[in-house]
Copies of this chain bind each other. A is one copy, B any other.
Amino acid sequence: MTASPDAKPRGTRLPRMARRRQLLDAAQEVFVENGYHAAAMDEIAERAGVSKPVLYQHFPNKLGLYLALLDLHVDDMVTRCREALASTTDNKQRVQAAIGAFFDFVSTQGEAFRLVFESDLRNVAPVRQRVERSLQESAEMISQVIQEDTGCSSDEAHLLGVGLVGMAEVSARYWLTSDGSIPKEAATQLMARLAWRGISGFPRTG
């Protein structure tokens, strides 16, 4: 059940970086399961097999710990999206790849996507900023492609980009909960077809 099978040798001494990594893993488990507010520093420490003060020797406070984790996964998401769009120059393929990036992201071990897509701290400025960055940057990249392909105005392309990212995000999350009823490949292609048909008919369709 725990990320590291070496659960609680509550006496082992670890080099600093190894310990830090272990703390991040434990924190991710707890934050993902309970969200930020319901997560207790006590439990994170216990899950990592250390005491609370150790936690505070590695991170300034609960928010700092959360942000470190959040940055990791926001970067991950944005990178996946960027690489998907760069993986080909055929725009139809690009749509397919980008949608796939979202489905891959939510499939990632530990359901870490919840930190980015379902954070219960969006009201706190630094968190909101990071979460919106993941949406904005993905949408920005996509809107670039849309502008080239359709000749929309910048504002319109941005709105479309945001909408498509939202579609991908929400459908990927839903697909994950109904696991088994539709294989990932099929789901990805289904949504990609929806998106592509929607975009491609744009420049002069009434």
Contacts and interface: CB of A to CB of B under 8 A. Distances in A.
Interface of A: 34-35, 37-38, 118-124, 135, 139, 155-156, 158-160, 162-171, 174-175, 178, 181-182, 187, 190-191, 193-202, 205
Contacts of A175: 159
22 contacts: A34-B123, A37-B37, A119-B120, A120-B123, A139-B174, A156-B190, A159-B171, A159-B190, A162-B171, A164-B167, A164-B194, A166-B166, A166-B167, A167-B167, A167-B170, A193-B202, A193-B205, A195-B198, A196-B198, A197-B198, A197-B199, A198-B198
B160 A165 contact: no
Nearest to A146: B194
Given A156-B182, A162-B174, A171-B166, A120 B193 contact: no
A122 B35 contact: yes
Nearest to A162: B174
Contacts of A166: 166-171, 174
B198 A202 contact: no
Contacts of A199: 194, 197
Given A118-B122, A158-B174, 11 more contacts: A35-B122, A35-B123, A38-B123, A135-B170, A155-B182, A156-B182, A159-B187, A162-B170, A165-B170, A166-B167, A197-B202
